[in-house]
Amino acid sequence: MNIKINHIAKMEGHAGFMMSVLHGDVQSAKIEVQEGIRLIEGILIGRHFKDVPVIAQRICGICPVVHNLTAIKAVENAFGIIETQETEALRKLLEWAQFIHSHALHLFFLSLADFLDIENDLQLVSEYPKQAKQAIQLREFGMLIVRTVGGRVVHPLTNEAGGFKKVPTVEELQEMIQMGEKALPVALELGAFFRGVRVPDFTRATEYVCLEKNGEYAIYDGDLVSNKGLRIPVSKFEANFHELHRPKEMIKRVESDLKTSYNIGAIARVNIQRDKLNTEAEKYLGTFGFQFPDYNPFHNIYYQMVEVIQAIEDSLKILKNLGHLDLQNALSQPFEVKEGIGVAAVEAPRGTLFYHLDIDARGYVKNANIITPTAQSLSNMEDDVKAYLPRVLELPPHEREKKLRALIRAYDPCISCAVH
């Protein structure tokens, strides 16, 4: 028997899912990409390094900030540029804002309806108007930061190799702090609502991978670690995680050195870094009473909520600290263009995003490799679908499809990123 989901809506990009079952045994579970290729890595070749973030961030309309950050970091690493602490602070602020913006969208508008048996978000908004407003208010805080610091929400403008073209004013910092202080209680209240949303009880052990760094919940830098004992610098990413291209597939999958699928994103980060959460985020996580490691992929939405709280707390810390620093030091500084290889990774909302750029002496790209989060988590998602399917196999087809879509969407996949 073949089970086909034609098109999974409410996620970034287009894909369906195909499963085959023989005498009750799941033979295969595979995503079917319905997105065309854009060949971003190919078109970066021969372009000047200044164009790299401009082009590469357009891989994704939902997480352009993290593509912008990683591309610029890779360029700076190729040239040996060391960012100032002010530049680093503004970049981390942008990244946390991206987390808030992206997670709050997924949590509320893309995934929540699955667990309330609603198929249309406009109906969701009408049944939960208060929570809808809260989700919108949180997103607006994230958007305010990206607009103020980055110059625009979708496809930011100010960040470049060497620093920022423009920096926020003292008044703008104040405005962001004020909005952040209002956002925190809103997030806690929305969090309490999500705490009451029931998701299926399903677990399958896997390997979790994310960045880790001493003393902070790492999203912007650190080493790559896993709950299976991996610990490598970002420069060894491609030596440990292997891109595989299979015929007729538009997504190059990634497998770990253990030749198995692995998972990333909020669920991986909270599993690995939970002891570094801020006060409120840690307190909120505690209300669930989960045992770790937690292998329930549906819990990803809870952990995204944990990270929204974490992001607001960290944004406020950074914003308040910026008041003591001289933001003029974040303005772009001149640097020497030279031949070099730059690799970089940051934690995107959906997991580790990796860039490798090979730049020539004139500053033009010779080679580019971009490994996105969804390309890495896709095989893990398929393995989860395979393990989960027997539990919903006997349901009427429409119900079964709803359950499967809920699992797939809990991953918050970004097909545009995965294909790019």
Partner 1 sequence: MHATTIHLKPQGNSANQGHPDSTEPSVQAPVSERKPKVAIVSLTSCEGCQFVLLDLGEKFLNLVNQIEMVDFRLLEDLEDPGEALDLAIVEGNPVTSENMKTLLSLRERAKLLAVLGNCAAMGGIPEIKNYHEGPNTIKRVYKYIQGIENPEVREVDNFVKVDFTFPGCPVTGEEVLKYLPELIAGRIPEIPDKPVCVECLRKGNKCLFLEKKPCFGPMILGGCDAVCPTARMMCQGCRGLRKTGNTKAMRATLKTMMTDQEFEDTTEIYGLRDDIEAREQPGN
C-alpha 383/C-alpha 386 separation (Å) is: 5
C-alpha 211/C-alpha 70 separation (Å) is: 13
DSSP 216: B
Are 37 and 393 contacting, i.e. CB atoms less than 8 angstroms apart?
A: no
Could you tell me the maximum CA-CA distance found in the chain, to the nearest angstrom? Answer: 68
How many residues form the binding site for partner 1 (CB under 8 A)?
Answer: 65
Are 301 and 110 contacting, i.e. CB atoms less than 8 angstroms apart?
A: no
Note whether 30 binds partner 1 by CB under 8 A.
no
C-alpha 176/C-alpha 142 separation (Å) is: 9
Question: What is the nearest approach in angstroms of partner 1 to the Cβ of residue 297?
Answer: 19
CB atoms within 10 A of CB 179: 20
Note whether 403 binds partner 1 by CB under 8 A.
no
Question: What is the nearest approach in angstroms of partner 1 to the Cβ of residue 226?
Answer: 27
Choices 131-139, 197-205, 212-220, 296-304; region in contact with partner 1 by CB under 8 A: 131-139
Residue 256: closest CA among 272, 268, 269, 238: 238
Q: Output 266 or 417, the one with its CB closest to partner 1.
A: 417
Residue 181: closest CA among 234, 221, 127, 141: 141
Contacting residue, 9, 170, 192, 395, with partner 1 by CB under 8 A: 9
Binding mask 234-253 toward partner 1 (x if CB under 8 A, else -) reads: -----------xxxx-x-x-
Question: What is the nearest approach in angstroms of partner 1 to the Cβ of residue 83?
Answer: 18
Phi-psi label, residue 415: left if phi above 0, alpha if psi -120 to 50, beta otherwise = alpha
Footprint on residues 37-76 left by partner 1 (CB under 8 A): 37-43, 45-48, 51, 54-55, 58-62, 64
Strands 262-263 and 253-256: unpaired
Binding mask 194-223 toward partner 1 (x if CB under 8 A, else -) reads: ------------------------------
Question: What is the nearest approach in angstroms of partner 1 to the Cβ of residue 150?
Answer: 8
Q: Which residues bind partner 1 (CB under 8 A)?
A: 6-7, 9-10, 12-14, 34-43, 45-48, 51, 54-55, 58-62, 64, 105, 109, 113, 119-123, 125-126, 129, 132-133, 136, 139-140, 143, 150-155, 157-158, 165-166, 245-248, 250, 252, 405, 416
